[in-house]
Structure 1
Amino acid sequence: MADNGSISLGAFADKLGVGLPHWQLEALRLSAAVQLDRRGQGATRRLGVTRSILLWAICQTSWAVAEVMSRAGLDVPEYGRVLKIISVPIVDRKQMDVQGILFEPELADALRHHLKVQGSEVNEVDLADALLQSALTDTGVGRLGMRLHDLKVDVERARRELSELAAGSDGIRDEELSRSVSSVRNSLGPTTPVTAGAIVKALQVHHPEYADGSFASVEVHADKGQRRTVDEWLVAVRQSYGPGVVQNTRHQVLDGNLTVLALAELEPAVAQDLDQNAVRDRMRREAPVEPRHLAAYRTDWSTDSPATKDLLGREDLAVALAERVKRLAYDDPEPREAFLVHIDGPWGAGKSSLFYFLQDKLRHDNPEQGKPKREFLPVPINAWREQRVGVQWWTLLSALQREIAQDATGWRHLWVWGRTFFDRFRARWVPFVIAVLVLLGVMAAGLRGIDLTAGGKLADSALKLTSLASVVFAGIVAATRYLLPGSKKSAESLTENSENPTRQVGRLFARTLSRAPRPVVFLIDDLDRCDAKYVVEFLEVVQTLVKEAPAFLEDRSHGQRSKRRKPGPYGFVAADGRWIRSSYEQQFAAFQATTEPGRPLGYLFLEKVFQLHVLLPVVTPAAREKYFTTLLTRGAIEADTTAEQLKLIASAQAAVDGANSEQGLISAGRIAQGITDPGRRIEVLGRAAVRFSERAIENATTHDLAPFVPLLDPNPRSMKLFVNTYGVLRSLRTLEEAFVPTEQLALWTVIEIRWPQLADHLRAHPSTIDDWKDNKDPLAVEVDQLLRDEAVTELLRDPRWTNLNSTVIRACAGVV
């Protein structure tokens, strides 16, 4: 007994006759940690855990109890604020022994009088019921009853539902489990205490195909986390889906996928393991339903760093872009030309997050059985951070060399190092050889003055010889460092002292590319944070080295392409298009008079550098709801799991998977709009957006686009750009839930390609088109003359628009 009347859990357990092994509950540890925090912050003077604190902790660690209390009227976050709980502390199981946890007298009395211990086991449901019963009967003790009354909680209803919950938690039957889960249960032993990780690790053996095959490679730590019997874990898994939910799925039992996802919600250690390479997100996509979320009532701080979990459909866009690059590299016939893509969007739009997902999709590929892997070597570059280096070509080359070296293992790492040094030597071998010869001459001259046969002077001669060798060695090292391109200074020297630096640098870059184990994709981020001069110079280097790399890979004697050269390279540049255009216009202000209608100078340069322009999709209301709910609830979004919704989700997924044309995917997307759960709706729409990248779908769409070819500039480049841009726009509009008719989106694509300035203006001011139709003046100066252009007028009056107005423009341009 403590001085203030509180009692330790060890002593209380002895009095109650329930041993300590049965009190290993996270709620007890969390409540003790929170009470220590509150005492340190001056919110309380009490040392022991109170009834109010323990009830709050149970709601944090048991979603089932939290659900019951929520339905009874308890706003758990508001309850935490009433208790002055500022944050949820991290509990170290090793440092916090439950034996030393202190109970305040009213908590000890409540548990002594009202706790129903079933089979010597203590669980959160029984603890919560005891606390609520004491709040009803022990009205003059403590503040729990008063707090629940003030928060308008229906305590009687909560007790009834807790009783029902306790009645449904007894045991689990084999017929409720799939064969694999049942096999794991029997092999581990139903009454064997294990961690949740041990069950997941056993299921890996049965289901290596989960998450497109990546589940098998996850390192699951079976020694981490709390231990419960296998059946206790499985009962908790069943409860996490709620009554009747699993029975409405296609298997009607708890299969491996559902079990793993629920265990990840119940045990943070499993969640941490499965979040490697977004495996849990992929398993969620494969699952017919999702478990309720344990942390549904907690709120964390959110950072502004690039997202590693997809909340806004960026991962689906990354998959679509990766599929298009894979087709260029592996499916298209020769020549496999370089390809540059501009990812456009203002600061904070999610460009860096897109690159995170894109890098993963390019590096890893899980093809269908019998098909080869189509993988790349991503080379991430932060242009803003590298701006201090100042030598743009060296930034690209050193990043490429670094990724090639990191990708190599074993003896190949030594081979890569040797080849890199040899390439540096070839780039400036003449001055290097001259320097070495001079040093060797110095050494030879020095050797003449050393007599190794002088008897007593042998030691002195040896010292001179060692000194001379050291000087020569240091000279060779200095020559290597400053003459061969291996640092900023040597890179600058190569550029300044070479007769044809572009050719030498290009060949060095091309040789390095040829050593890459897979096709290379450069991911250049934060260019819009650099100054204008650096932006222009950097893109000029990118165009020379990346876009024109095949020219440097040609055979020097015959000008023919090497049959062994790899596809590409490819590049994605993420930057606000407005800043890039402004940079070019500042640097080339004298050429402003040469611009074309609808294509000012900045747009012309962008068109010259990039083969494809991708404007990040806007955040739809569904995505916005999912995003904010996730920020506020640590990823917990309450899904509508009614039988009608589950049937609709399955129907939409089947429609997406079974579609074999653009119109089929659009119809599937319209079905998905009826899904009320924003997360599920985004997933289905994302699958549809990815499928637009498939060759069969694109080939059929290309046939439908043929009537619009006469509206383009008469050159092959415009036609390729038209097909690529249309496909990307269709994927973007699908993610935005804008199912624009083919004719309207095709006409808008023509505007995007031929008159990008007009497209940007209409995107920002859709009502301009209504004013133009109504002959209202004045229109914006930059578009007034353009809208009088005969070609533009003819396109805007095209009957295939049906009824062109601001609503149509909003849908085509992705304006929510």
Structure 2
Amino acid sequence: MSASEPTSAAQIAKVLDDEGRPVGAGVLVAADLVLTCAHVLGQEQPVEAVTAEFPFLDTGPVRAQVHFWSAPGEPLGKGDLAVLRLDGAVLPPDIQPLGFASDAPVGLQVITYGFPRGYDDGRWTSMRTVGGLPNGLMQLEGSGLDAGYSGGPVFDTESGTLLGIVVAADRERSLGFMRPLASLMETWPHLGTVVIREPMTPPQNTRGGAGARERTQWVSDAPTDDDMLKRAALAKVLATHLRQARADTPDSSFLVHVDGSWGTGKSTLLKLLARELWDDSLVVFFDTWRHVRIEPPWWALLTAVRKAVIAGRPRWRRPWFRVRELFARIHRDGAAQVLSGLLLVGAAVLAGVLFSSGTVTTHGLEPTLKTITAVVGAVGGLWTAGVVVSRYVMWGSARRARSFEESHTDPMNEVAEHIAWLVRHADRPIVVLVEDLDRCNAGYVVNFLDSVQTLLRDVPERWRRPVHCAPSFVVAMDGVWLRCAYEDAYETFKSAVAEPGRPLGYLFLDKLFQLSVPIPRLGTASRDLYFGRLLGTSVAPPSAATAQQVRAELARSSDETEVLETLARADPEVRQAVASQAIERILDADVQDISHHALAKFSRLLHSNPRAMKRFVNTYTVSRAVRVLEGSVVPTDSLALWTLLRIRWPELADHLESRPETIDQIKEGVEARDLPDTLRELAASAELHGVLRAVPGTQLTPEMIRACSGASDDMTPR
């Protein structure tokens, strides 16, 4: 990127005052969110809405609501952040938010764009990064900065990556100050779930030839925001299901299980999901591993939800919200006790006034009565304070939460009621993203999920209104870990409760979650691309013309079968490149209607169970998205039959995934030597064989099972 022809200019915003004059700059960081400095909007209380323009786009003035505002403070860089939410779809669909660099190297040549006095159309200026400061800012060196550049985006001139925003300038000393991503997130933590993070271009080796890497870079094992594996498409599918469940059953939570072993990318998927949900949901990240030693589990979860609800409100409204919360609890649980204490205090005060004014006189007894009055007033005050502290300030720590459980006759009902109150007063529906539960011991896993079931899953009837939805949960953890935790906790009931092909752990999994989502495996094309990017080597992308042709064919597809046929004709590299567009087409409402009609033949195999039917449709839709991301184009009937088998007999499905050749022995009636004893009765049952033969022309072969479960090297089954 050069200063004369910047490639990131379309996302630059110009913030206007009431008279249409530019007062600062901003940058588009999400589909409808613009980042700027709070002092651009005013030093005191913020305005409710402002006008902005995108000078490099022909959009004209657009209105934006002040979504978040933190007042400028001391030292420099503290607070001073505003987030604007654009009204409606005002930008062209091809304009994408900019990615943020996680850090800004020293000595980097950078440019920014602003609107100094006399340049209402804006001007570029170049600078150099000097070094980080103790307050989290990055010092810049350059003579071009002036008033009007505040909030302006700072770009790396070579890669075009967004490094931060300008927050202040010292023109006399030719200095400027930039807030990088880490500093911005300290003021607005939710920014980390909104922006796309991009790595900086690695240094090049000038001795080993042009473009040669000097050495292989160390690679972080932390969850990434860089969607190298195209997981954003799966995140969009999950977001669609959550919104649909919210609309269909707002009174009950929708629980999703993201199933994958350690290191498969569950946390990265949660970050991408948070980005998809940010516009219309209050996203709460909950890391269970950090709280595993804190009892009771509901306290840490309640605290996280409460903090998110409060953080979603402007700072000046938070103290009043806490007061309302306190009075709500008093009104709900202890109005009688507090009222009795206040009456004692009131009676004592009234008696004191009457005695002092001489309205009431009692010869010889006045000193005694005054003493009694003072004692009654003190007792009433202490009684009221004790009730308030013991009942309503008990959740300030885990120890107090345990005391609360022991001192109340029905503590869990009080907790559930208060969570419902928080849900009712949240500005958006709540979605809790739970991670690292598969690092916790079995007891904590069971207790935590039981807390979700009993406290947060349903909205109490007294709070049910159309605009208030029960919280939704997405739990990312290894399914084997989860099943073993419940089987360990309920060891006594394993043999009595288990069903053929559905042991106790699977039954709990089915009871807890409405949807289970497997993490996609890496196909050959995606594996080569991912590993190449880690090594810093170039992998030749597919022909742009070929990929565009396939995208055009996908857009013309009228049903899922045509989408799959288009993908099957494409090379694996092209299939990987267009996977996101293929999933979007499959999720199109018209295409979905036709696909669901094709699945109708399987309803008779679900025993007319409405819950099982919903689970079947949801699981199939997610499985299809996962298979497309893997590069598999397994036929509809085959994937549907496999989905049915997985829902009805999950233990058998897991065994066939690891040993797909067993399916031939089961169909032939031959005793499989590697089949567990718990599955032998099921393998010989007429019910299972009836399902396997239920769809004429569709057979589950070993190769088809590999394709349906994402374990096939050749992802185009024949």
Identity %: 33
Name the SS of the counterpart of 1:486 in structure 2. Answer: helix
Aligned partner (choices 271, 276, 283) of residue 356 of structure 1: 271
Deviations 1:546-593 (A, max 9, x none): 3222xx1446xxxxx434x42332111111111111111112122122
Structure 2 counterpart of 1:400? 305
Name the SS of the counterpart of 2:602 in structure 1. Answer: helix
Instruction: Give the drift of 1:598.
Output: 0.9
Structure 2 counterpart of 1:568? 470
User: What amino acid does structure 2 have at the position aligned with 1:504?
Assistant: E
Q: Any residues of structure 2 matched to 1:15-30 within 5 Å, and which?
A: none
Q: Any residues of structure 2 matched to 1:742-757 within 5 Å, and which?
A: 742-757=636-651
Deviations 1:67-122 (A, max 9, x none): xxxxxxxxxxxxxxxxxxxxxxxxxxxxxxxxxxxxxxxxxxxxxxxxxxxxxxxx
Query: Kindly tell me: are residues 210 and 739 of structure 1, through their superposed partners in 2, closer, same or farther at Cα, counting changes over 3 Å?
Result: same
Q: Distance in 2 between matches of 1:324 and 1:405?
A: 27
Q: Does 1:380 align with 2:285?
A: yes
Structure 1 counterpart of 2:391? 483
Structure 2 counterpart of 1:78? none
Structure 2 counterpart of 1:206? 56
Structure 2 counterpart of 1:117? none
Number of aligned residues: 550
Query: Kindly tell me: are residues 418 and 213 of structure 1, through their superposed partners in 2, closer, same or farther at Cα, counting changes over 3 Å?
Result: farther
Structure 2, unaligned stretches of length 5 or more? 14-26, 28-35, 37-51, 60-90, 114-123, 125-154, 166-179, 182-191, 199-209, 358-375, 713-718
Deviations 1:330-377 (A, max 9, x none): 5x4x6564211111111112111111111111113xxxxxxxxxx111
Aligned partner (choices 64, 78, 97) of residue 215 of structure 1: 97
Q: Does 1:623 align with 2:473?
A: no
Query: Kindly tell me: are residues 204 and 517 of structure 1, through their superposed partners in 2, closer, same or farther at Cα, counting changes over 3 Å?
Result: same
Structure-2-length-normalised TM-score: 0.66
Query: Kindly tell me: are residues 508 and 638 of structure 1, through their superposed partners in 2, closer, same or farther at Cα, counting changes over 3 Å?
Result: same
Contact 1:648 1:675 in 2 (8 A): no
Structure 2 counterpart of 1:455? none
Q: Distance in 2 between matches of 1:631 and 1:469?
A: 72
Instruction: Give the drift of 1:629.
Output: 1.5
Q: Any residues of structure 2 matched to 1:504-519 within 5 Å, and which?
A: 504-519=414-429
Name the SS of the counterpart of 1:682 in structure 2. Answer: helix
Query: Kindly tell me: are residues 525 and 438 of structure 1, through their superposed partners in 2, closer, same or farther at Cα, counting changes over 3 Å?
Result: farther
Aligned partner (choices 753, 759, 764) of residue 658 of structure 2: 764
Contact 1:299 1:632 in 2 (8 A): yes
Query: Kindly tell me: are residues 623 and 477 of structure 1, through their superposed partners in 2, closer, same or farther at Cα, counting changes over 3 Å?
Result: farther
Q: Distance in 2 between matches of 1:660 and 1:296?
A: 46
Structure 2 counterpart of 1:314? 231
Instruction: Give the drift of 1:744.
Output: 0.7
User: What amino acid does structure 2 have at the position aligned with 1:580?
Assistant: L
Instruction: Give the drift of 1:777.
Output: 3.9
Bigger radius of gyration among the two: 1
Structure 2 counterpart of 1:226? 109
Aligned partner (choices 563, 567, 585) of residue 665 of structure 1: 563
Q: Does 1:328 align with 2:245?
A: yes
Q: Does 1:341 align with 2:256?
A: yes
Q: Distance in 2 between matches of 1:416 and 1:694?
A: 41
User: What amino acid does structure 2 have at the position aligned with 1:540?
Assistant: D
Of Structure 1 and Structure 2, which has the larger fraction of its residues in strand? 2
User: What amino acid does structure 1 have at the position aligned with 2:673?
Assistant: P
User: What amino acid does structure 2 have at the position aligned with 1:588?
Assistant: Y
Name the SS of the counterpart of 2:431 in structure 1. Answer: strand
Name the SS of the counterpart of 2:516 in structure 1. Answer: strand
Name the SS of the counterpart of 1:613 in structure 2. Answer: strand
User: What amino acid does structure 1 have at the position aligned with 2:109?
Assistant: Q
Q: Distance in 1 between matches of 2:347 and 2:101?
A: 59
Query: Kindly tell me: are residues 801 and 432 of structure 1, through their superposed partners in 2, closer, same or farther at Cα, counting changes over 3 Å?
Result: farther
Q: Distance in 1 between matches of 2:164 and 2:524?
A: 29
Deviations 1:219-247 (A, max 9, x none): 999x99527999xx9xxxxxxxxxxxxxx
Instruction: Give the drift of 1:307.
Output: 1.4
Contact 2:523 2:631 in 1 (8 A): yes
Q: Does 1:788 align with 2:687?
A: no
Structure 2 counterpart of 1:778? 673
Deviations 1:195-221 (A, max 9, x none): xx9xxx999632483776553898999
Q: Does 1:632 align with 2:535?
A: yes
Contact 2:585 2:591 in 1 (8 A): yes
Query: Kindly tell me: are residues 445 and 346 of structure 1, through their superposed partners in 2, closer, same or farther at Cα, counting changes over 3 Å?
Result: farther
Instruction: Give the drift of 1:329.
Output: 2.9
Query: Kindly tell me: are residues 400 and 672 of structure 1, through their superposed partners in 2, closer, same or farther at Cα, counting changes over 3 Å?
Result: farther
Name the SS of the counterpart of 1:731 in structure 2. Answer: helix
Instruction: Give the drift of 1:318.
Output: 0.9
Instruction: Give the drift of 1:741.
Output: 0.8
Query: Kindly tell me: are residues 623 and 307 of structure 1, through their superposed partners in 2, closer, same or farther at Cα, counting changes over 3 Å?
Result: same
Instruction: Give the drift of 1:740.
Output: 0.9
Contact 1:630 1:637 in 2 (8 A): yes
Contact 2:515 2:615 in 1 (8 A): yes
Structure 1 counterpart of 2:296? 391
Aligned partner (choices 487, 494, 512) of residue 585 of structure 1: 487
Q: Distance in 2 between matches of 1:606 and 1:752?
A: 13
Q: Any residues of structure 2 matched to 1:93-242 within 5 Å, and which?
A: 205-207=55-57, 209=91, 215=97, 225-226=108-109
Query: Kindly tell me: are residues 387 and 434 of structure 1, through their superposed partners in 2, closer, same or farther at Cα, counting changes over 3 Å?
Result: farther
Query: Kindly tell me: are residues 471 and 379 of structure 1, through their superposed partners in 2, closer, same or farther at Cα, counting changes over 3 Å?
Result: farther
Deviations 1:499-531 (A, max 9, x none): 333332221111111001111111111112222
Name the SS of the counterpart of 2:227 in structure 1. Answer: coil
Contact 2:558 2:591 in 1 (8 A): yes
Contact 1:672 1:684 in 2 (8 A): no
Structure-1-length-normalised TM-score: 0.59
Aligned partner (choices 688, 699, 705) of residue 809 of structure 1: 705
User: What amino acid does structure 2 have at the position aligned with 1:266?
Assistant: E
Query: Kindly tell me: are residues 295 and 628 of structure 1, through their superposed partners in 2, closer, same or farther at Cα, counting changes over 3 Å?
Result: same
Q: Distance in 2 between matches of 1:767 and 1:358?
A: 36
